[in-house]
Structure 1
Amino acid sequence: MNNTLQLDIGQYSSAGLKAENQDSCGSRVPSGPPLELKGAAFAIADGISSSAVSAIASETAVKSFLDDYYCTSDGWSVQSSVTQVLKATNAWLYGQTRQSPYRYDKDKGYVCTFSGAIFRGMEAHLFHVGDSRIYRLRRGSLEQLTHDHRQWVGEGRSYLSRALGVTPHIEADYQRLTLAVGDVFILTTDGVHESLAQAELAGHLKRRDSDLSDIARTLVDTALANGSTDNLTVQLVRITGLPDATPQLIEPIEKLPLPPLLKSGDLFDGYRIEREIHASSRSHVYLAYDQASDTRVVLKTPSIDLSDDPAYLERLLMEEWVARRVNSVHVVRAAATHRPRHYLYTAMELVDGQNLRQWMTDHPNPDLETVRGIVEQVAKGLQALHRAEILHQDVRPENLMISPAGTVTLIDLGSARVSGIAASYRVNHPESDAATAGETGAQILGTALYSAPEYFLGDLGSPRSDLFSLAVLTYHLLSGEFPYGTRVARCTTQAAQHKLGYRSVLNETRAIPAWIDAALKKALHINPLRRHEALSEFVRELRYPNPEYIHATRPPLMERYPVRFWQSVSGILLLIIVYLLNLIGTTT
């Protein structure tokens, strides 16, 4: 009895006659539960020859596919997982082109073709964009499974009609096939299949006595001998064993059953529930013991009332993907996967300590140095998210944990937005004012008191939006108040926002330098373009005075040198009096 997918693999890539190899390929075949739950992944990408940076594009596409797919939630189907990964990768490539000197010339940007395959259980899931190809050899018959996305405009002249990085949105072809022992899947770039007839390709693959890597190299050498002038890459996968049955994972999110209400002592999907941590109309959060890993985790289950809201359920599962994509001690981690999931929920590692709101209750007047330490750690967590093209969008005390040792961790990623993936669901926390995003009427993702003004205009936000939220948190830690009170949420037009006035954090009861207030004022500017360019700049200005602020906030001469000031004023007045007396004496 065989319960494991078994594969033989081989690959070979060559620059051919060109100076640089702009192709990229890679594979990942995990063992144990990850192979059963997520399967084995293979990918191939081909940069366009007109671009000097397309090698970066193809390498990024393959690496992102192999890394990010295994970070996606086990509750997502293979199709949903890969679709989200490709959207995020496409958005990054497109964004890089827009920031480059070639922003108006897509043929010189970060563009590549892509073909990927996931083999899981008894099925193959194929994804394709561009003119790289996937073939299948079954019982001696070779079949091309993908369609070239190439538009011909004349004899010998054509262009790619679809590729990664060309447009802000991407649509990849998808196929789901049943596997059979002996199937061979072939992934090639055009440097191979345009110089190698299918009969010739099939003939080499029928040599079962040869190693697949040797066959891949032979195919490349043959294409070169046939006159190929492009980069050449071949990836081969042979199915040598299949499990007795595909794991019983319910793939569509809307069909994954919602957990029941849980209580202390309940056994649930391999966990023992210890207690409920938090409950709201949207979700229930539990402290649980994972019997397989002998660890305590935090489970979040959706409210039964939201069972008919697939957008919310997708956002819930997105939390695990975000947590797995980011590696930072200041961002909560997703719990390790050990077994198939039978209900829709998220599992995160337990972060010891108390949330920052409770800490603020216990420490109502923290000193400036303590506030700096907290803010610097939150900024590091946000920077880790931003490097992965993720916005947190809900920085507030309730979403921050501080350990007994003083380590601060972002724990709630339910409002995070991954670049390239539309925020189809928006949530307004009970702690926030009722607010909409401009004329769209969509509710904002975060908490109104901490949300950047641009969200209330319907903007998607940027890293400077997270900066604004961090600055609000800093202001609140120092003063217990908010820089604009509750007025930001009610200003849903630019005209209304321009009337808002920043309230200085300084008063006679707070020993805060004026240059700190100046740094906060800049970070909290209503216009995101007037804020600091980076989180690191804001954090530095909280610790080291910006010379511009020192000059701008320098006290008047009367406050700096009061004795000299009044002596000078008295002297000037005396001279005036003498002058007037002389003037009177002269006239009389």
Structure 2
Amino acid sequence: MDRYAPRECAASLKVAAGQHSEPGRKPVNQDFHGLCLPGEPLLGSKGIAVALADGISSSNVSRIASETAVASFLEDYYCTPETWSVRKSAQKVLGAANAWLHAQTRQRHDPDRDRGYVCTMTVMVLKSTTAHILHVGDARLYRLRNGALEQLTEDHRVWVARGKSCLSRALGLAPQLEIDYHTQPLEQGDVFLMATDGVYEHVDAQDMAAAVAAHPGSLDDAARALAALAYERGSGDNLTVQIVRIDALPGRQASELGRYSLDLPCPPLLAAGQDFEGFRILDELRASSRSHVYLARDLASGGQAVIKIPSLDLRHDPAYLERLLTEEWIARRIDSRHVVRAWPAKGPRRYLYTASEYIEGRTLMQWMAANPRPSLESAIAIVEQIARGLQALHRLELVHQDLRPDNILITPDGTAKIIDLGSAKVAGIDELMHAGGHAGPVLGTAQYAAPEYFLGEAGTPRSDLYSLAAMLYQMLSGRLPYGPDAARARSRAAQLRLSYVSVLGRDREIPAWIDGVLSRALHPDPCSRTPELSEFTYALRHPAETARQGERLPLLERNPLAFWKGLSLVLAIALAALSLPL
């Protein structure tokens, strides 16, 4: 959003918050809490973070653990990529905090985990209309809605004897961290209460609801009242309460890019020689039903850029306009020589368009037409470069979704670049628009789209891998692996009946192990597909290991159609045997 003029947006998430923490009857307060309410654009892309940690009483350094855990989370969470989902961002930060705390404990002279850097951790991130909850330990998070109180977290505590228990999970307790994660839809008026065991063991649901109702104008006072009540009832532990009330929710058009796409007018069709937004239009590169693309010169730097504007037919389609802006937004966050780069920002814009670097070259489709029988080495070299570009996307939790030969440019020096990001799925944006986890419409090209898209499933990195493998298959054979049948298979059963046709042919000298690599990468079921891009590209260069791996694969993965035919035959024989008279 750094290249568009900022504006005020009334439809944003608004909360009221209150907090209170005190040592109670203990000499030291080992609890620590915090809340971060950022401004835009972080409010839209990362949300509001609330965190509470409770140090274990047996350790004299647990105060350091709880303070470090909360402070590092609230700082580091907002430094994670904007493209990441809340879940990935929070889990990465909590995992790093856990590793540091556990290492500190191991470096102590007395590495007893009950005396180490250990604390509970409960985090709530409010983003758009969803609460993302991450929890480990025995602090609690409640939701008060319409007068009813519901506990949203589970205590990770094991009772070893009557009246005696210990934490089964906590931050810093073990090298690996298992975190509970779930989401809750938000409603205006919802009240969330976080509390340590020093409070919730001595107050009940009625007390919590009464405290919130008695102090509607000051949730700090409500938190203080609950702590005081727990103290009066004999609590001997630290006392910490956090309260957050949802006062306003954003509208359904939650994405900042979506809001900007509605604000900016579409430009008129451009012509050679025309000056536009600091560029001079040199030529029209192509026009389609989706967009008009022009070659332009930056009047300030003299460099050549590509300007893309929406077509006349799609200027009233908000979803398409948002995807157009998303394409450049993504390009600004990718650092790879195999992915097109956005043009340097030139300040606020008056029109809706995108600007990217101009890449001289030809599409992979044109390259294949000029090289109908490429060498195996040249084909693999192109695939490896595309894979490196995809890996740059996947590291930022992006899925391309429309990988095809027309979206790949080959420069005169042989460098492959992914040039179209308009259909990419961004986890951090997607969770705004599809909070329920439902996949959107298939945006890719049917011939290269992974079969799971036709079942309405969301794309994953394995979907991009399928498209990449389909392009290699086409380079080597001149055809697509399943032809038009993949797009027609609209059920899992129909997809399992798809029969992979070997890439090997009489007119080409292609090693058999390459066919094995492709058959696994092109499996209709993503769960049976090669799991990682790196594994796919490695297999293309290491025939001996690939052959051994292929020998170990079960028949179901190597040839699902043969497996099911064989199983059906065995069952038929068994039924026939059972029907014979004794």
When normalised by structure 2's length, the TM-score is 0.58
Residue by residue over 1:66-124, the C-alpha shift from the partner in whole angstroms, topping out at 9 and shown as x without a partner, is x63xxxxxxxxxxxxxxxx7xx5425357879999x9xxxx978834479xxxxxxxxx
- For 2:74, the equivalent position in structure 1 comes to 58
Alignment of 1:178-189 (within 5 A): none
Give 1:305's match in structure 2, choosing from 300, 313, 318: 313
- Structure 1: which 5+ runs fail to align? 6-15, 29-34, 69-84, 116-125, 132-148, 174-188, 192-196, 202-226, 233-248, 427-439, 555-588
CA-atom RMSD, angstroms?
Answer: 5.0
Between the aligned partners of 1:511 and 1:453, the Cα distance in structure 2 is: 29
Match of 2:278 among 265, 270, 274: 270
1:290 aligns with 2:294: no
- Distance in 2 of aligned mates of 1:382 and 1:389: 11
Matching residue of 1:75: none
- Helix, strand or coil at the partner of 2:313: helix
> Deviation at 1:422?
3.9
Shift of 1:349: 1.8
Which secondary structure state, in structure 2, belongs to the residue aligned with residue 364 of structure 1?
Answer: coil
Deviation, structure 1 residue 395 = 1.1
Q: Distance in 2 between matches of 1:98 and 1:454?
A: 32
Is the 8 Å Cα contact of residues 130 and 185 (structure 2) preserved in structure 1? no
The CA deviation at 1:402 is 1.6
The one-letter amino acid of 2:74's match is S
Identity of aligned residues (%): 42
Q: Distance in 2 between matches of 1:350 and 1:375?
A: 22
Q: Give the 3-state SS of the residue equivalent to 1:467 in structure 2.
A: helix
Picking from 111, 122, 128, the partner of 2:123 is 111
What residue number does 1:399 align with? 407
Q: 2:52 aligns with which of 48, 52, 75?
A: 48
Contact 2:399 2:424 in 1 (8 A): yes
Counterpart Cα distance in 1 of 2:241 and 2:414: 53
Cα distance in structure 1, aligned partners of 2:46 and 2:548: 57
Aligned residues of 1:90 and 1:169 also touching (Cα < 8 A): no
Say whether 1:387 aligns with 2:395: yes
Do structure 1's residue 92 and structure 2's residue 94 form an aligned pair? no
Preserved contact between residue 73 and residue 93 of structure 2 (Cα < 8 Å): no
Q: Is the 8 A contact 2:496 2:524 kept in 1?
A: yes
1:160-559 alignment runs, 5 A limit: 167-168=182-183, 252-422=260-430, 443-547=441-545, 549-550=547-548
Residues 26 and 63, structure 1, Cα contact 8 Å, conserved in 2: no
CA displacement at 1:413 relative to structure 2: 0.3
Asked if the contact 1:311/1:424 (under 8 Å) is kept, the reply is no
| Residue 54 of structure 1: how far off its partner (Å) | 6.7
Q: Is the 8 A contact 2:32 2:54 kept in 1?
A: no
Letter in 2 for 1:449: Q
Cα distance between partner residues in 2 of 1:506 and 1:458: 32
**Deviation at 1:166?**
5.4
Distance 1:263 1:472 in 2: 38
* Compared CA separation, residues 275 and 18, structure 1 to 2 (3 A): farther
CA distance in 2, matches of 1:250, 1:425: 10
AA matched with 1:336: P
SS at match of 2:447: helix
User: SS of 1:286's equivalent?
Assistant: strand
| 2:413 partner amino acid | A
Q: 1:252 to 1:326 in 2, by over 3 A?
A: closer
AA paired with 1:63?
A: C
Q: In the superposition, relative to structure 1, how do residues 492 and 356 fare at CA in structure 2: closer, same or farther (>3 Å)?
A: same
**Aligned letter for 2:123?**
V
Aligned length in residues: 404
Q: Distance in 1 between matches of 2:519 and 2:354?
A: 38
Deviation at 1:278, TM superposition (A): 1.5
Cα distance in 1, alignment partners of residues 258 and 476 from structure 2:
49
Superimposed CA distance per residue, residues 438-461 of structure 1 (whole angstroms, 9 cap, x where no aligned partner) = xx9975211111110000111112
Contact persistence 1:519–1:542 (CA under 8 A) = yes
Q: Verify the 8 A CA contact 1:45 1:59 in the aligned structure 2.
A: no
Q: Which amino acid aligns with 2:86?
A: N
Query: Offset of 1:525 from its aligned partner?
Result: 0.5
TM-score in terms of structure 1 length: 0.58
Match of 1:275, SS state, is strand
The structure that has the greater radius of gyration is: 1
Shift of 1:364: 2.1
- Where do residues 16-95 of structure 1 align in structure 2 (5 Å cutoff)? 45-49=49-53, 57-64=73-80, 68=82, 88-93=84-89
Alignment partners' CA distance in 2, 1:382 and 1:230: 46
What is the CA–CA distance in structure 2 between the aligned matches of 1:110 and 1:382, rounded to whole Å? 34
Pair 448,56 (structure 1): closer, same or farther in 2 beyond 3 Å: farther
